[in-house]
Structure 1
Amino acid sequence: MFAPLDHLHTAPPSSPHERRLAELPLTVLVGVTGVGKSTALAALRAAAPQARVLPDRREITDRVMIWPVSGGPVSDRAERFRLTARYREQHPGGMAYALGTLTADTRHWGERPLFDGLRGREEVEYAARHFPAWRFVALHAPDVVRVRRLLGRADAFDRVAGGHTGGNLHAELAALPGVDAVFTPAELGALAALEAEGDPPGDILAKTRIVLTERQHYDPDAAAAFLRTLPPERALLLDTVALSPGQVAAAIGAWA
């Protein structure tokens, strides 16, 4: 038996204070790993301490999608992507579907909570079509920047099986499955050059593999293209390279 999420559960509302998240005017951050969602949320919380942020995608993924199948935690990112893909096959909409099934105690979460976050067109389109009260903030950063940010944040969660073999890093990067669809030769050269800046080659390879694996499951460009079709009051798109975390938080605060 797994511990419940704090003040969230999958049973129908049982008191006047409980509401399905599907019905609340939820603000949802959209973006793949390394675009700056956590940094933006930290800046937003500093600017608006009253903001209520739901348990993040990782926690809900563990409790709703992964643990019921695996029997416990799974740390390898590629395996997590495999298990979440299986969940999406069973439940179109993936995380959007899972989030919409949850009931929240509004005494704790308030009437307008934030969630970090959704990924890819499938999740975003499902959420937009099924939950009309939800609004979306899409954050973007180039894939090379995302790799650099993953290297800089040293999160133990950012792990995948299989690492640097001790050979030529550039050649190993170029041999990654699907790499040509995501990185240009110049970008691969820039990633390989990070070794000279002090980043361990195994870490560079692992973080690049995470970005590639995530790209295979969630297309951020397709998600952004869909969000541009929504009315401006429902979707806000922000570049986290052009904007500082404080500017991102200010833009969200002004829009929300």
Structure 2
Amino acid sequence: MSSSPLPGLRAADSPPTFLPGPAERPLGDLPLTVLVGVTGVGKSTALAALREADPALKVLPDRREVTDAVMILPLSGGPVSDREERFRLTALYRQTHPGGMAQALGSLLADTGHWGEQPVFDGLRGEDEVRYAAAHFPRWRFVALGAPDAVRVRRLLGRGDHFDQIRTEGAEDLRAALEGLKGSAEVFTAAELDDLAALVKEGHRPEDILAKTKIVLSERRNYDPAAAEAALRTLPPERALMLDTVQLSPEQVGAAVRAWAGGKA
């Protein structure tokens, strides 16, 4: 990355986009609070709770923005919207950067005059990123959120995010198409696939159900949530908070995050 489109952030080997000085520090040296979880687990709820605990909280550019600037653009030469293609490009990045997003983020220099000394980042995914971050950046703390994959499909259908784009074919026979998706049998039971196919009765389009399910499966192939959570459970409780966003209501998630944050992120 020769220069960064991210405000107040730059790669260490790039020309400064702001005046270098004592305020410029590697993000890896700062006490970041990092949200951990795949799409649809409730990170927005946790982030809102952190902001409520500390209204002055600074939130770094999110994973998508950092991915575009550090991983996607240098490989593609332009923006990429299809999520399968993004997964392919980020996998290429991880071949030479095993820490993935954690390694990319921790290497950036930050203008602390702009971002403060304790910013929040949304977020990390998967065992490799979590283990790298925990080992290399001992001042970072983690809020990990989880939800079953079928629940995540439903949440994706409800949020209408323009970023959730993916090429789909074969939605005419939805149940068969769902079963035919790569990795489907390893992630979903037959009953869960029946339930997903039945979402058309709630007004969802077959192609949307197929697309959101494909996103969930793609993320599972690239970032195993269970393995990431297991890695975080090896850390002391003051460094890692694990929350099930199905067992807990959004209000309970918010209260748990605020209590753990101790009034500040």
Residues 1:94 and 2:94 are matched in the alignment: no
CA distance in 1, matches of 2:221, 2:49: 30
Q: How much has 1:48 moved relative to structure 2?
A: 3.0
CA change 1:27–1:3 in 2 (3 A) is: closer
Q: Is the 8 A contact 1:139 1:238 kept in 2?
A: yes
Unaligned 5+ residue runs, structure 2?
A: none
Name the counterpart of 2:253. Answer: 248
Q: Encode CA deviations 1:105-134: one digit per residue, 9 max, x unaligned.
A: 112211111100000000000000011111
Q: Is the 8 A contact 1:93 1:122 kept in 2?
A: yes
Q: How does 1:152-163 map to 2 (within 5 A)?
A: 152-163=158-169
Name the counterpart of 1:176. Answer: 181
CA distance in 2, matches of 1:198, 1:40: 29
CA change 1:46–1:79 in 2 (3 A) is: same
Name the counterpart of 1:5. Answer: 6
Q: Tell me the SS of whatever aligns to 1:139.
A: strand
Residues 1:140 and 2:141 are matched in the alignment: no
Q: TM-score, normalised by structure 2?
A: 0.92
Q: How much has 1:162 moved relative to structure 2?
A: 2.1
Q: How does 1:170-249 map to 2 (within 5 A)?
A: 170-249=175-254
CA change 1:85–1:155 in 2 (3 A) is: same
Aligned with 2:32 (options 17, 22, 26) = 26
Q: Tell me the SS of whatever aligns to 1:236.
A: strand
Percent of paired sites with the same residue = 69
Name the counterpart of 2:86. Answer: 80
Q: Is the 8 A contact 2:27 2:107 kept in 1?
A: yes
Q: How much has 1:101 moved relative to structure 2?
A: 0.8
CA distance in 2, matches of 1:189, 1:48: 43
CA distance in 2, matches of 1:179, 1:239: 23
Q: How much has 1:161 moved relative to structure 2?
A: 1.2
Q: Tell me the SS of whatever aligns to 2:5.
A: coil
Q: Encode CA deviations 1:36-82: one digit per residue, 9 max, x unaligned.
A: 11232134324532111100000000000001111111000000000
Query: Which piece of structure 1 moves more, 10-19 or 222-231?
Result: 10-19
Q: How much has 1:253 moved relative to structure 2?
A: 2.0
* Amino acid of the structure 1 residue aligned with 2:10: H
Unaligned 5+ residue runs, structure 1?
A: none
CA distance in 2, matches of 1:2, 1:113: 22
Q: Is the 8 A contact 1:164 1:201 kept in 2?
A: no
* Amino acid of the structure 2 residue aligned with 1:194: L
CA distance in 2, matches of 1:185, 1:151: 20
* Amino acid of the structure 2 residue aligned with 1:245: P
Q: Tell me the SS of whatever aligns to 2:35.
A: strand
RMSD: 1.5
CA distance in 1, matches of 2:165, 2:101: 21
The aligned length equals 255
Name the counterpart of 2:47. Answer: 41
